[in-house]
Amino acid sequence: MAKPHAAAVLEDRWTALKGAALTRRGYASQFVGYPGYGSTGHARILARVVLSRRSEARPAGPVVSSRALGGRRGWRAFFTTPAMNAPVTVRVGSRTVTARTDRTGILDVVVSDHGLPPGWHDVELESATGTRASVPICIVDPAVTFGVVSDIDDTIIKTMLPRPLIAAWNTFVRHQGARTAVPGMATLYRGLLAAHPGAPIVYVSTGAWNTVPTLLSFLADKGYPLGPLLMTDWGPTNTGWFRSGQDHKRACLHRLARELPDIQWVLVGDDGQHDPTIYGEFAEQRPEKVRAIAIRRLSATEQLLSHFTPLANDEFGPRRAQRAKVPVCRASDGYGLARLLQVALDGSPVPGDVVVEN
């Protein structure tokens, strides 16, 4: 294993010092649960362990409801202290395993031969200090062959995230309930899942794990289907000061293709950053895994705020998908994408070398 980057070493030392000081003051482990996913053969469990006052540590029970989280601003989540390398007991169906968190407090463990049937289930977690919690997990039926992967920022939420001041305002100051949903996207996702019972939806974003509780609140409040959120960690990594958001999305797509091999995915994103390129590349590499690509087309103003140019960053992505005979649908909102996807998915002869737009 390569030597960790100096930035990661410094961050780990600071986190260890904070953790030791808080533990001496009586702080204990607390779980922040994230929805997981899996098949009847394996399950991927996701959570984060942070240090909090013992009076705030929650007993066993479901993940905090969206109603409880809806009134909180996101900045609090960025000032938590993760429990590094903390042991966690995981009970999934008939299996009980012990795993450890990573350097950022993230628990990401795969449990095989769990015995759970398809559907949503609760997984029990317990820390070494006795704190317990349960997190939801979606077990996908082996017969399901359809699924949705969705970006978050500027695809389902109008955030214009790459603009630093707007991102900071939305994350650290603005009330979570004040965020604006992209029109028609929740309706689009509900319609796709209703037409394909048991199909999973997975949200993949370059946003930080810290934002998951408020994002779950947003999804519930705006009528989006519940699904796993695959996020990333902000700050130093073992390889540099920051991780690559594009590499994170690519890795998530290929991992989903391996773990749920029978599913063909509808990939949904926007043309404000790199989604068309990443999706087109994946479709070219694994055309049998992609049913269609749906790209939300940002306005010139949104493009300008997103990356300081009114032009979209999608010149080459759709071309790669077209070479793979994967239809690409582009529209300005979820209602337009729904109409185009209905044509692309109902078996009509929509040629893959044509970009369908509305």
Q: What is the pLDDT of residues 112-140, one digit of tens each?
A: 999 999 999 999 999 988 899 999 999 99
Domain boundary among 101, 119, 139: 139
Q: Does residue 75 lie within any of the structural domains? A: yes
Domain around 37: 28-139
Per the CB < 8 A criterion, the answer to whether 50 and 81 are in contact is yes
How confident is the model at residue 214, as a pLDDT? Answer: 85
Provide the pLDDT for residue 66: 33
CATH number at residue 92: 2.60.40.10
The percent of residues in the chain predicted with pLDDT above 70, rounded, is: 71
Total structural domains within the chain: 2
**320 and 335 housed in the same domain:** yes
In terms of domains, do 225 and 331 share one?
Answer: yes
Q: Inform me whether the pLDDT recorded for 350 exceeds 90.
A: no
Averaged pLDDT, 4-10: 64
What is the maximum alpha-carbon separation in the chain? Answer: 67
Q: Please report whether residue 3 resides in a domain.
A: no
Residue 229 — pLDDT band, cuts 50, 70, 90?
very high
pLDDT category of residue 21 using cuts at 50, 70 and 90: confident
Position 28 confidence tier, pLDDT thresholds 50, 70, 90: confident
Instruction: Examine the domain organization and report whether 209 and 135 are in the same domain.
Output: no
In a domain, 7, yes or no: no
Higher pLDDT, residue 294 or 21: 294
The mean pLDDT of 253-282, rounded to a whole number, is 94
Instruction: Measure Cα distances from 171 to 72, 75, 77, 176, 186 in Å.
Output: 11, 6, 10, 8, 22
pLDDT tens-digit profile of 140-169? 999 999 999 999 988 999 875 554 554 555
In the three-class reduction of DSSP (H, G, I as helix; E, B as strand; rest coil), residue 180 is classed as coil
User: What is the average pLDDT score of the chain?
Assistant: 81
- Choose one of 139, 162, 186: the last residue of a domain: 139
Q: How far apart are CA 337 and CA 335, in angstroms?
A: 5
Q: Which of 73, 305, 307 is nearest to 166 (CA)?
A: 305
Torsion of CA 269, 137, 192, 298, to 10 degrees: -20
- Residue 239: what pLDDT? 56
Chosen domain end from 121, 139, 157: 139
> Do 322 and 181 sit in the same domain of this protein?
yes
Residues 155 and 112 in one domain: no
**Which region among 22-31, 49-58, 126-135, 215-224 has the lowest average model confidence (pLDDT)?**
49-58
339 shares a domain with 207: yes
Residues 107 and 174 in one domain: no
The reply to whether 190 and 63 lie within a common domain is no
Mind listing the pLDDT tens digit for each residue in 41-74?
Answer: 999 999 999 988 764 544 433 343 333 333 444 5
